[in-house]
Amino acid sequence: MEYGSTLDLTGKMYTDRSVTWLLFSNLVTLALALVQHWNVSELLWIYWGQSVIIGWFNVHRILGLKRFSTEGFRINNRAVQPTRATRRQTAAFFALHYGMFHFGYLVFLFSDARMHGGVPVFAVALCILVFYFSHRFSWHYNREREAGRVPNIGNIMFFPYLRIIPMHLIIVLGGLYAGNGVMALVVFLLLKTAADVAMHIIGHAMARGDRLRASRKLP
């Protein structure tokens, strides 16, 4: 499988049931955004919540590994063995690093909310809840599909960063350059959804270790 292949991505979209949930979650957000005339500020809260959910399930995914590879993965610049200690240390490091990033992000969102007069709490919470159930289904669904494989723990640890960076870049750049009109909102939300689905498929392929070899280090 080649990661950049349109044919592969399209095929996975039709066969991966978790993609259906992901599309549904994004469509719910799009519908509420249009009905309530949201701007980028409201959307950032939702996708912050989605990012936290992705990280939460990734910690559980790491801790739930029974057999995994550590090929190319290093801690303190030293090769490690696929042991319980490696699994716990990797999960702890990821939770700390990912959590600090999102805490800083949250401080920015609160500051932005004060400037723009608050946030539609109920609607934002509803969208985040829909994303939670989407990612919960994806976690269970892909765990069953990947049973018997020996994934690379380094790929799994870096999977959420690969997943969320394109998503948030599209939202932020869309808000900066496209404005807050209805068509602009629809266009960059559709772009965000496309990036979300593509990185979902690619990220899970990476986590399984499909034809990916790279040097990964923890400080």
Would you say 158 and 217 are in contact if contact means Cβ atoms under 8 Å apart?
A: no
Q: What is the distance between the alpha carbons of residues 182 and 172, in angstroms, rounded to a whole number?
A: 16
Single pTM value for the model: 0.79
Of 156, 157, 129, 126, nearest to 142 (Cα)? 156
With CA atoms as reference, report the closest residue to 99 among 56, 45, 162, 154: 56
Average pLDDT over residues 139-163: 79
Categorize the per-residue pLDDT at 190 as very low, low, confident or very high, splitting at 50, 70 and 90.
Answer: confident
- Closest by CA position to 175, among listed 162, 184, 166: 184
Q: Given the DSSP bridges, would you call strands 73-75 and 78-79 parallel, antiparallel or unpaired?
A: antiparallel
- How far apart are the C-alpha atoms of 75 and 85, rounded to whole Å? 11
- Is the model's pLDDT at 215 over the cut of 50? no
pLDDT of 210 strictly over 60? no
